[in-house]
Structures are given as C-alpha cells and as structure tokens.
C-alpha cells in the first residue's frame, strides 16, 4: 500500500471554502471519495462541495439496509411468535396454538426493531465509523471553522494543494501522512 498525503485547510467563511473546492479537484484530478469538507453542523447536500454523484450513490443504497433488515425482522417475528406457538402445542383459552393476530403484533414489533438495527448499520457502514485512529482533523472545526480535506498521492502534490488552499483563503493548513 502506497502512502497517501493529506492536506487540511481551515476556512472561516462559507463562500471562501466553496470557491476552493473546484480548483483543488481540477489541479489533481481528485476522485470523489478523496475530498471532504469538515463542518460542525450539517449543511444541505452539495452546499459546500459539488459531490452529488458520490452522495447520490450512497443515498440510493443506504435505504436498502433498513429495508432488507425489515424483512429479516418480519421472518424473525413470524418464527418466534408463530413458530413457537406451533411447536408448543398447548391449548390456552380455547384458542388454536397458532394465532394470526398475536403473531402479527410480534411480527410488527420485530420488523421495526430490525429496521432500527439496519439504519444504524447503514450509518456505520457508509460513514466508515467507528474509526478511532488519529485522522486528519482539527478541533477548531467544532468551533465553527470549515475544513477542506484532500487526499493526494505525492509530497509535491501535497505542497501544491497547500498553496492552492492558502491562495483561496485558508487561515490554517495541516499536513499529514496516511490519515485521511
């Protein structure tokens, strides 16, 4: 695995960071996954960086996790409530051991439970969390600074990227190795 280099530039204003994104991309032919904007709050999609293709891909597939897990939950509910009723062949209250309505209730609950699990899994998978390694980050982002993080593959590119970011108004540059 070859090394990669990161440059993190911190900006104070939105208009400056939006202007810096495209030149960086053009200068290095950066793939969509290699450039990121760090912020302390959620900006509308595409507001800070033109990343629609990647985001759309992720978005359209993220829904599958809770959806498919919902089906797993459905099966789990039917097996649990209906199946155990079937194998525990006891008559209670004159009712048949397998009943539709109580099985339906339990199935509903379990479908939603697995939907919750699926949603969380989708977050962890697509956001690449948890990742406790020392990654390129600056605590000032939490205080309102906006960070533009780019991943390049050579030291010269790193210097060039840092220069471009400064030109576009970054007030602080951090460079790193293998910490994208």
Partner 1 sequence: MKSFNYKKHNDYSWSMIIDLDRCNGCGACVIGCQAENNVATVGEEEVGKKRNMHWLRIERYIEGEYPHVKVRFLPMMCQHCAQAPCESVCPVYATYHNPEGLNVQVYNRCIGTRFCGNNCPYSVRYFNWFDSSFPEPVNNQLNPDVSVRERGVMEKCSLCMQRIRRGKDTAKDEGREVQDGDIQPACAQTCPTGAITFGNINDHESKVYKMAHSGRAISLFEEKGTHPAVKYLKGGTNDVIG
Partner 2 sequence: MSLDDNVKRSADAGVAGGHHGDVMALPEIESFRDPETKAAKAHYDDADIYRDEKGFNEHTLRPMFFTTKSYFIFTLALGLVMAQGLGFFVYQTFVGLGMAGIHEPVYWGAYIATFVFWVGMSHSGTIVSSILRLTQANWRRPILRAAEAMTAFSLMVAGLFPLIHVGRLWRAYYMVPLPSQRMLWPNFKSPLMWDFCAINIYLTGSMTFLYIGLLPDLAVARDKAIAMGNWRRHYLKVLALGWRGSHREWSVYNKCSLFLAVIILLIAPSVHTIVSWDFAMTMTPGWHTTIFGPYFVVGAIYSGIAAVITLMITLRILFNLDDVIRKFHIDALGKLLLVIAIIWTYFYFCEFITNWYSHKPEEWEVMAWQGHRFPYHLMVMLGGSCLTIFCLSWRRFRSCMPCMFALTLLVNCGMYIERYLIVVPILSRRDNPFMWTDYTPTITEVGIIVASFAYFIFLYAIFIKLFPIVTMADVKEGVIVSGDVRLGRHAVRVQVKE
Question: What does the per-residue mask of binding to partner 2 show for 150-179, with x meaning CB under 8 A?
Answer: ------------------------------
The answer for residues whose C-beta is within 8 angstroms of residue 31's C-beta and 6 or more apart is none
Among 1, 2, 3, 42, binds partner 2 (CB under 8 A): 42
Phi, psi of 115 (to 5 degrees): -65, -40
Closest to partner 2 by CB, 51 or 157: 51
115 binds, among partner 2, partner 1, none (CB under 5 to 8 A by kind): partner 2
Interface with partner 1 (CB under 8 A):
88-98
State the minimum distance, in angstroms, from the CB of residue 70 to partner 2.
9
Q: How far from 59 is each of 33, 45, 53, 62, 64, CA to CA, in Å?
A: 14, 11, 10, 5, 10
Closest to partner 2 by CB, 139 or 156: 139
State the minimum distance, in angstroms, from the CB of residue 178 to partner 2.
15
Distance CA 149, CA 156 (A): 16
DSSP string, 26-76: HHHT--GGGEEEE-SSPPPTTSSS--HHHHHHHHHHHTHHHHHHHHHHHHH
Distance CA 69, CA 118 (A): 5
Q: CB under 8 A: which stretch of 23-31, 58-66, 154-162, 169-177 binds partner 2?
A: 58-66
Distance CA 37, CA 43 (A): 10
89 binds, among partner 2, partner 1, none (CB under 5 to 8 A by kind): partner 1
Closest to partner 2 by CB, 159 or 172: 172
Closest to partner 2 by CB, 101 or 156: 101
């Amino acid at each position: 695995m070859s090394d990669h280099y990161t440059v993190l530039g911190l900006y104070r204003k939105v208009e400056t960071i939006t202007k810096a994104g495209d030149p960086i991309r053009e200068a290095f032919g950066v793939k969509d996954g290699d450039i990121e904007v760090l912020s302390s709050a959620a900006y509308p999609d595409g507001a800070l960086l033109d990343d629609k293709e990647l985001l759309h891909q992720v978005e359209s597939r993220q829904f599958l996790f809770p959806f498919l897990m919902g089906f797993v939950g459905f099966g789990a509910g039917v097996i649990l409530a209906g199946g155990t009723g079937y194998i525990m062949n006891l008559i209670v209250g004159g009712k048949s051991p397998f009943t539709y309505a109580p099985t339906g209730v339990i199935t509903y609950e379990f479908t939603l439970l697995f939907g919750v699990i699926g949603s969380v899994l989708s977050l962890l998978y697509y956001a690449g969390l948890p990742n406790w390694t020392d990654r390129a980050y600056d605590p000032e982002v939490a205080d309102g600074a906006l960070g533009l993080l780019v991943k390049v593959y050579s030291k010269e590119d790193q210097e060039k990227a840092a220069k471009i970011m400064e030109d576009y108004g970054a007030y602080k540059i951090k460079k790193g190795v293998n910490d994208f």
